[in-house]
Structure 1
């Protein structure tokens, strides 16, 4: 583990730390001693979630070995549940570290995304495809409300 050498996005307070502290409502799929799995409010693909560490760690370089292992166990667990829930054609995993990689929240988070061959977004990380399209209203199209977040969380949680 080392302190990150990367420029980080500016966000005070950290939205994920606020979620963990219970200050915001969230679509909680699962929580463990070291992690939370939550529904992404931007649903580029239905069922997209984040797995985050409870402790504030800006990048992968800041995680302990125990946190890394716990995150990957949660990723595998939610991936299995996604397959049962959505029958996707594949699952995309990705993580951004530092502003240069397009990290938006300065708290490590692994994206877990059920994918379909017929996806509007094509192959690869969804946020890159969205940027390539440069649609002015792209966020409006993928943003969901807390009610839908909870519905998606329940769909996935039922398969854990």
Structure 2
């Protein structure tokens, strides 16, 4: 066993229920089904977080996530869908191997309610412009 459960799944040392496999990416059912149909899309190569992924791999990962989302929509007819990625401990990343979550949603499923206390107040335009300028300068 390695220190990465996703690497162990990809190597066949830990069982998983796969929905997709190619030479760069796999997709399998999350063992902890927050909702029925919760799928993880994972690069085969160990990449610890989003900061370390190449644009080419990220593009392929997203492409497969979109295909999985469409398959889930056809199979389950959900009312909505979440596509999310957690990065770093503060971001809620539990497995240090970059991955995307694809979750079909129902109005009454009771999970992942962002802004439980209502939407945040709008930020002022000068603050948004200054932040946008700082981020843009680093692209």
TM over 0.5, shorter chain: yes
Aligned to 1:25: 15
Structure 1 stretches of 5 or more lacking a match? Answer: 1-11, 125-160
Aligned pairs (5 A) from 1:75-90: 75-90=65-80
Aligned to 1:91: 81
Q: In angstroms, what is the RMSD of aligned CA positions?
A: 1.1
Shift, 1:40, TM fit: 0.2
Structure 2 stretches of 5 or more lacking a match? Answer: 115-139
Instruction: Describe the SS at the equivalent of 1:47.
Output: coil
Aligned to 1:112: 102
Measure the CA separation in 1 of the matches of 2:74 and 2:40: 18
> Per chain length, whose mean CA-contact separation is higher, i.e. which structure has more relative contact order (CA < 8 Å, sep 6+)?
1
Shift, 1:33, TM fit: 1.6
Instruction: Describe the SS at the equivalent of 2:37.
Output: coil
CA offsets, 1:18-37, max 9 Å, x none?
A: 11111011010001121000
Mapped pair 1:69 → 2:59 = yes
Q: How many residues align?
A: 113
CA offsets, 1:5-52, max 9 Å, x none?
A: xxxxxxx51000011111011010001121000100111110001000
Query: Under a length normalisation based on structure 1, what TM-score does the superposition of the two structures give?
Result: 0.68
> 1:14 aligned to 4, 26, 46, which one?
4
Aligned to 1:9: none
The structure that has the greater radius of gyration is: 2
Measure the CA separation in 2 of the matches of 1:108 and 1:16: 9
